[in-house]
Structure 1
Amino acid sequence: MDEDTSTATAVVEDDAPAPAPARPRPAPLPRDRYIDRELSWLAFNRRVLDLAEDETLPILERTNFLAIFASNLDEFFMVRVAGLKRRILTGLAVPTNIGRAPKAVLADINAAAHVLQVQHAEVFHEQVRPQLEEAGIRIVGVDDLPESERNRLAEVFANQIFPVLMPLAVDPAHPFPYISGLSLNLAVRVRNPKSGRVDFARLKVPAGSLPRLVATTSAASPVATFVLLEDLIAHHLDELFPGMEVLEHHVFRLTRNEDLEVDEDESENLLQALEKELLRRRFGPPIRLEITEDMDPTTLELLTSELDVSRDEVYRLPGPLDLAGLFELNRLDRPQLHYPTAVPATAPAFVPGEPNEKPDLFAAIGEQDVLVHHPYESFATSVQAFLEQAAADPNVLAIKQTLYRTSGDSPIVEALIDAAEAGKQVLALVEIKARFDEQNNIEWARKLERAGVHVVYGLVGLKTHCKLALVVRREADGNLRNYAHIGTGNYNPKTSRIYEDLGLFTADEQVAKDLIRLFNELSGYAIEKKFRRLLVAPLLLRKGLLKRINAERMHAEAGKPARVRIKVNSMVDEAIIDALYRASQAGVQVEVWVRGICSLKPGIPGVSENITVRSILGRYLEHSRIFSFLNDGDPVTFIGSADMMHRNLDRRVEALVRLKRKEHLEELDRLFDLAMSDDTASWHLDDIGVWERHAVNDAGEPHVDLQTATMQALSTNPRKRQAR
């Protein structure tokens, strides 16, 4: 008989102990318990826009956030919206996570994205642009310049821009040209004064090969003045169409589906299949047409007809289009208009005993596990130094590593090449399907192969997203010892300066055995199910996390303290969310720290009133993943590569590693305490899916900035942290 009902009919003797009261059944979970994934992503980008509006930030950082917003939205359309539209057109679309029809969600996305893009333009024109001018940075029209500067720009146009331009006519002899994705274009209508005939021409703005912001003043000038490349071209259209009368000219920009669909069958080499798909990417179907608000109906009708774009996919915006071009302002030498310079500290365990002494990372790792926190602690003196020391050490026999994304001049790749050329066994698992890094990773894979590195591409049907490195070394006693690094971020020295990530270095033999099994699975045909200190997707990770969440629920039901803390980029997976709801119903305190998408609704009475959700955005991109469970006073904490999304749990190889040292558990607890504090600047999510920013207290004083506080804590007197 079921435990919950058996006590209702049991006969109790006078001297028998009273039976335990039956646990009440939790309330059923409501049907509307999720937030739509795509709309939640747009809410994330709205938080990026909040930073562009923040007058307490340096003006070039606000400008940067405007550019980040634009770049983020481009990728959202190229991948997420494009994927949804493709599934609708092929009849494969299913109701979304909130049960809505895909077409209805697509309409909601277009409406919400349009509002956001208009707000984005308004922030630039009404807030950021005026403050840039106050700081001595002007973006003006050509006609606003004095004659001397216009004359100088005319020479620049004639010598550096005019030769590059290719006006393409549209008439019976010239079909409508192909418009590449994300290109900036001028739609031009001209009239022949003799015949009176009106024709259309398309002129691509070569923003990829020429600066988008054309300087009109010297670098030494106290006031930096720029004109937009498309404005300068438009000012000289008469030179491109001599003898014709220019009637109209308008800027437009097209976004295409640039997601990849690679058929990983056995009949074709994966590299060759991917290279073919990369060529097809350039010709993906249109999904968004951005136009300036002054475009005339005739030109718009021609564009929508020729490009096969619906009116819902047209975004009429105040110019300039593509504010990602504002990234170019980072080249200005104006340090006072940026965040103060921050120099990463070397992790205390890797600081040599003497100033001129070379650090021995193997000795430090062999002594105890080392946890590093980027970018507050240096990637170069930890991860990079670890692999460079391994490459140079004659006692190192083998190196195994995963590479998901890396930089164009990667010292990590060079270290692997050096190791292979020195005769070491080197295995590199290069994920050539890493979105938008495919071509770069193909080139690295071939370079590694030419150097003698054993390059593999992971498992068919799965992306390898885990961040792992294993070094096999012969010790002085002749025995082999393994040294490992497991991280939350990519092996990319450039992004390590702006991405917040964690990494564990360990010589623990259990971790080594787990990694050896996992690398054998990735490079061979093994199907491994035995891991002791790792949780690995797709077979075991979801099951392992659900087991931990349910254990906390049972602790709460037994009247014991119970808590779950999760830090991720995205919280979408319904099974994980429902488990958190059930835990909350039992009284578990659940704290979720999420950067981007969150489909979980906190604060629903009877369901999630014990769940708190916070989001923190700022100078650094919060990228680490942490999973912490109170476990009846014996805390269990994992870090690793996985977000709580279907793709991470079901279609990727991910790895979490359990931290063992008490100091590391306490450090992450302090980090979480700070992130969840009401005195820390963050965004709070409510029970209807609305994010509210909490940046100042009731007296108008700024809340604590988590990233600044963490930077200060990790850079203060590192010698005192040697015991960490």
Structure 2
Amino acid sequence: MTAEAARTTPANDAGTNAPPARGDRYTNRELSWLSFNRRVLAESENERYPLLERLRFLSISASNLDEFIMVRVAGLEGQVQRGIETQGIDGTSPRQQIAAIREQFSALEDRQQESLETLRGLLAEEGILIAAIDDLPESQQNWLAEYFESDILPLITPQAIDPSHPFPFVANKGIGVIFRLKRGKRQADLIEMVLIPSGAPRFVRVPGDDAIYVSIEQLVTRYADQLFPGFKVLGDGIFRVIRDSDIEVEEEAEDLVRYFRTAIQRRRRGRAVLLELDDDCDEVAETLLREQLEVEEAMVVKTGGMLGLADLSAICNEPRPDLKFEPFSPRYPERILEHDGDCFAAIREKDIVIHHPFESFDVVVDFLSQAARDPAVVSIKQTLYRAGDQSPVIAALIEAAQNGKAVTAVVELKARFDEERNIHWASELERAGVQVIYGFTDWKTHAKVSLVVRREEDGYRTYCHFGTGNYHPVNAKIYTDLSFFTADPALGRDAAKMFNFITGYIEPDDLEKLALSPIGLQEKLYELIDAEIANAKAGKPAGIWVKLNSITNRAMIDKLYEASQAGVEIRMVVRGICSLRAGLPGISENISVKSVIGRFLEHSRVWAFANGKTMPSRQAKVFLTSADAMSRNLEHRVEVMVPITNKTVHDQVLGQVMLANILDTEQSWVLEPDGQYHRMRQGDGGFNCHQYFMANPSLSGRGAALADHEVPRLTLRDGTT
């Protein structure tokens, strides 16, 4: 079903002044996400990228699509089953949204398979083969047969399916092979299933000069005679299952840790949402799978290609630097080095902004590690949303507690797909003596804040770190985020009140500089937008620059529409979901939107307001935030927005980070009024913001040379500014 067919409000023929239908004014969230993933998939088709990086983008696209089915489609199907008719922002019902998603999902899956076939051919020319067993020489087939017998057979368990052997449970994202067998002429056909263990390698690398990879499910089907000696294989089929993986928190949950431990187990057995089958799946076996998994007809996908493309990430680790991006090592901030690695001395002298991944996340870890060991540090408070597997941040907090510091950690158990890991970290922290808080039952704590209190000669001083991204050292090598360090007493007092709000429900009503959601951040943004509207109406320069991951909140979109109609020039860099429609006559003709998709994942969130001057300028009001412009962030999460008033940091964020994203052409897609995106120019004369930041000096070392009256100029390769 097309987006037009899904609209609930018909086109109005009364004249051009009639208000547009909701489907013309807003883009559906789910369809906008699919559009974003098409942009990600397009990077696998980008001939300017090395081949293994293109393969990595394909695996990312497939992984994204899996999560979309597990959460978003599952949620919509749940609404349909419960008879919920809540409309999306574009006026479509859950049933209409599912119909539109299915149409686009099928096309996206086909395009992923086409991309894989193209990459298989190109990689083969470079000696990396994603091979079919029958295409290999006999010697390599013999090696695979021996490998199957010695390494795979002990891992797998064939299970008959009959009245005495019930249908086995297939885990989320589980891959299996189903067989129809016969032994002797008189016996009835037998159905057997082999599930691929999650710990088994998805791809087997065949020894040899070339890197030859064979999928494990191929081995199971090819060497079924070793599994079923004495049986004749009448038919087989490879399948994969995606299950509902969202967790809803019940308000009456008395113990969140116990609740989530149970909920994680339930999630593993969630309702099947999607069944993927290979084209040659045996008809009898397919019928059994459909019946037992109870998947709706429309969510059964058959393909002639490979299932589970997200697992291709394993092949991307092949040691072929010639087929990957040139290695990049982030710089350690010069400002910290100038103070012999003393984070507190550097921050005390002047606020600092760090631009990850171009500048090392190690400085964030060092800030906490120094606090853990410094005898003058009295207490540390820390929010933790995602911290990763081997987390140096957790290690620093544990060390601090063991050294006698008062350490408080706000661990968010509701961080999707990190719930189990966060429960583990919470237990480790508690054992070390850290006071662990789980925040609110019905709100996620998504703010990224560290607060360190230090005893100094003139009294206690508070040092803060505010981030746009998580305290996750692996993500910090891939995600572009901003870390802001400050010893501003007002921000320290506000941060302390934020922690008191989370730990003791003490709602702050007198914040000096910070804005928090869900108790005022949205209203603060409205106030700032209204000021730009007033400036535009008064004939003053008026503009808004904003960088977000997503914007779906209808009230915020309408406020930006109002600003556009008043003449405010609005430039938006929105990487992912964008329900706002740019360039609509009479509604948003003064709004431009672009999406930057490249080597690094754009993740920082910035708002800038012209404040009566032409952008960019020193007078502009600049804010960093952990929140996207989504209802969940503005209304159902604890988020923070911090003003940037230090001149150097202000210039770095506005005149470097924001401006570079706005000027980028090589990685940018422009949103058209019809909701579609087109890629901007690449090649000669283009500008790549990621390459710019990899090649230029770090932000934290640029401030001393800047004149007080000017914003730093960003110079492009062709000499223009």
Alignment match, 2:710: none
Q: In structure 1, what is the Cα distance between the partners aligned to 2:484 and 2:660?
A: 21
TM (norm. structure 2) is: 0.92
Q: Within the alignment, does 1:248 sit opposite 2:229 as a pair? A: no
Q: Secondary structure at the match of 1:351?
A: helix
Q: Secondary structure at the match of 2:328?
A: coil
Alignment match, 1:309: 295
Alignment match, 1:299: 285
Q: Secondary structure at the match of 2:697?
A: helix
Q: Are residues 28 and 114 of structure 1, via their aligned partners in 2, closer, same or farther at CA, if it must alter by over 3 Å? A: closer
Alignment match, 1:512: 492
Residue type matched to 1:81 in 2? V
Q: Which of 380, 384, 390 is equivalent to 1:399?
A: 380
Question: Larger deviation: 301-310 or 29-38?
Answer: 29-38
Alignment match, 1:213: 203
Q: In structure 2, what is the Cα distance between the partners aligned to 1:585 and 1:472?
A: 47
Bigger Rg, structure 1 or 2 = 1
Alignment match, 1:655: 640
Deviation at 1:712, TM superposition (A): 1.2
Alignment match, 1:325: 311
Alignment match, 2:53: 61
Residue type matched to 1:216 in 2? V
Q: Secondary structure at the match of 1:168?
A: strand
Deviation at 1:262, TM superposition (A): 2.1
Q: In structure 2, what is the Cα distance between the partners aligned to 1:282 and 1:684?
A: 39
Residue pair 1:510, 1:533 contacting (<8 A) in 2 also:
yes
Q: Structure 2 matches for 1:320-719, cutoff 5 A? A: 320-352=306-338, 358-380=340-362, 382-477=363-458, 479-633=459-613, 634-670=619-655, 671-677=657-663, 679-696=665-682, 701=684, 703-715=686-698
Q: Are residues 403 and 608 of structure 1, via their aligned partners in 2, closer, same or farther at CA, if it must alter by over 3 Å? A: same
Q: Secondary structure at the match of 1:529?
A: coil
Residue pair 2:449, 2:467 contacting (<8 A) in 1 also:
yes
Q: Secondary structure at the match of 1:190?
A: strand
Residue type matched to 1:710 in 2? F
Q: Structure 2 matches for 1:153-172, cutoff 5 A? A: 153-172=144-163
Alignment match, 2:713: none
Residue pair 2:149, 2:226 contacting (<8 A) in 1 also:
no
Q: In structure 1, what is the Cα distance between the partners aligned to 2:482 and 2:51?
A: 30
Say what the alpha-carbon RMSD is for the aligned residues.
Answer: 1.6
Q: Which of 219, 224, 230 is equivalent to 2:211?
A: 224
Q: Are residues 422 and 434 of structure 1, via their aligned partners in 2, closer, same or farther at CA, if it must alter by over 3 Å? A: same
Q: Secondary structure at the match of 1:259?
A: coil
Alignment match, 1:78: 70
Q: In structure 1, what is the Cα distance between the partners aligned to 2:207 and 2:519?
A: 60
Residue pair 1:292, 1:321 contacting (<8 A) in 2 also:
yes
Alignment match, 2:29: 37
Deviation at 1:672, TM superposition (A): 2.6
Q: Structure 2 matches for 1:80-159, cutoff 5 A? A: 80-125=72-117, 127-159=118-150
Q: In structure 2, what is the Cα distance between the partners aligned to 1:531 and 1:434?
A: 27
Q: Secondary structure at the match of 1:521?
A: helix
Alignment match, 2:262: 276
Question: Larger deviation: 704-713 or 111-120?
Answer: 704-713
1:218-245 Cα distance to aligned partner (Å, 9 max, x none):
5xx3x21111111111111111111111
Alignment match, 2:40: 48
Residue pair 2:648, 2:703 contacting (<8 A) in 1 also:
no
Residue type matched to 1:351 in 2? L
Aligned residue pairs total: 683
Alignment match, 2:244: 257
Q: Which of 198, 201, 215 is equivalent to 2:192?
A: 201
Q: Are residues 351 and 72 of structure 1, via their aligned partners in 2, closer, same or farther at CA, if it must alter by over 3 Å? A: same
Q: Are residues 558 and 145 of structure 1, via their aligned partners in 2, closer, same or farther at CA, if it must alter by over 3 Å? A: same
Question: Larger deviation: 140-149 or 668-677?
Answer: 668-677
Residue type matched to 2:204 in 1? V
Deviation at 1:681, TM superposition (A): 3.4
Q: Are residues 719 and 448 of structure 1, via their aligned partners in 2, closer, same or farther at CA, if it must alter by over 3 Å? A: closer
Residue type matched to 1:263 in 2? E
1:236-295 Cα distance to aligned partner (Å, 9 max, x none):
1111111111111111111110000121326x2110011111111011111111111222
- Identity, % of aligned positions: 43
Question: Larger deviation: 165-174 or 645-654?
Answer: 165-174
Residue type matched to 1:412 in 2? V
Gaps of 5+ in 2: 1-16, 614-618, 707-721
Residue pair 2:409, 2:434 contacting (<8 A) in 1 also:
yes
Q: Are residues 679 and 165 of structure 1, via their aligned partners in 2, closer, same or farther at CA, if it must alter by over 3 Å? A: closer
Q: Secondary structure at the match of 1:65?
A: helix
1:537-574 Cα distance to aligned partner (Å, 9 max, x none):
00101111111111111110111100011111101001
Q: Within the alignment, does 1:235 sit opposite 2:222 as a pair? A: yes
Residue pair 2:272, 2:295 contacting (<8 A) in 1 also:
yes
Residue type matched to 2:383 in 1? T
Q: In structure 2, what is the Cα distance between the partners aligned to 1:231 and 1:678?
A: 44
Q: Are residues 719 and 500 of structure 1, via their aligned partners in 2, closer, same or farther at CA, if it must alter by over 3 Å? A: closer
